[in-house]
Amino acid sequence: MSIHISAKQGEIADKILLPGDPLRAKVIAEHFLEDAVCFNEVRNMFGYTGTYKGHRVSVMGTGMGMPSISIYARELIVDYGVKKLIRVGTAGSIDPNVHVRELVLAQAAATNSNIIRNDFPEFDFPQIATFTLLDKAYHIAKKLNLTTHVGNVLSSDVFYSNMPERNLKLGELGVKAIEMEAAALYYLGAQHGVDTLAIMTISDSLVNPDEDTSAEERQNTFTDMMTVGLETLIADC
Ligand code: HPA
């Protein structure tokens, strides 16, 4: 047991998919994994281990935001020996060419969080994805004919920003979307020498606010993203 996860040693696979929503973890386990067994119910942050195409894989919720994902990802890495962590989530586009339902692979993550600054106040220490995972995910997404963007995202501590114009300015500098977790996940990857990637589907656009999705479209995109995440996890990279 770790402080926030009640699994016994060996109950969590060394590869894990990390949605923010624990109920999404349950849906992924039910729809994509065979013989899935629940390993955590502490704080209802459900986690499951099963097999995907014969490979042992886990999936667990992380909650929203960098403090929350930092707790779970650190315990998964340090206490349970997880080696490959792929976040699957949503993001808001700040690039007019990045549309709802499209995929963004976060090559790097800028952040307004103090999580990295606390440790390195004198550097802008870039948070980057593990290239092998990024490369694999990109080619898997392309093969599935999914419109896929690769680039910088902003991991923000704030969902309801009082300064949205500052976020949009980052869009002018090539940052594709805003989300709330990738930078912290990538920093943990750097600290512990494990592989990390954040994949997101665009759920809303801050620059094309008229863009909308139906529930069915959102479901299809969600399924596509999970397929990319799971195929990347089991790919030999
Ligand atoms: N901001 C931050 N995180 C998000 C957004 C957003 O607009 N949309 C989905 N996740």
Question: What's the CA gap between 196 and 13, in Å, rounded?
Answer: 15
Q: What is the pLDDT of residues 24-52, one digit of tens each?
A: 999 999 999 999 999 999 999 999 999 99
Task: Report the pLDDT value the prediction gives residue 236, as an integer from 0 to 100.
Answer: 78
3-state secondary structure of 105: strand
Q: From 145, 4, 20, select the one nearest 86 (Cα to Cα).
A: 20
CB atoms near residue 119 (< 10 Å): 11
- What is the overall mean pLDDT for the chain? 95
| Calculated CA dihedral for residues 129, 135, 136, 139, nearest 10 degrees | 130
Tally: H helices and E strands in the chain = 7, 10
Per residue in 66-108, pLDDT tens?
Answer: 999 999 999 999 999 999 999 999 999 999 999 999 999 999 9
Q: How many CB atoms lie within 10 A of CB 16?
A: 28
Strand bridging mode 177-179 / 148-155: parallel
Atom of ligand 1 nearest to the CA of 180: 3
Which residue's alpha carbon is nearest to atom 3 within ligand 1? 179
Classified as helix, coil or strand, 18 is strand
Q: 28 CA to middle of ligand 1, Å?
A: 21
Q: Around Cβ 42, how many Cβ atoms within 10 Å? A: 14
Residues marked active site are found at: 204
Task: Give residue 108's pLDDT.
Answer: 98
For 175-213, write each residue's pLDDT tens digit. 999 999 999 999 999 999 999 999 999 999 999 988 877
Is there an atom of ligand 1 within 6 Å of 50 CB? no
Prediction pTM value: 0.96
| Amino acid at position 201, single letter | T
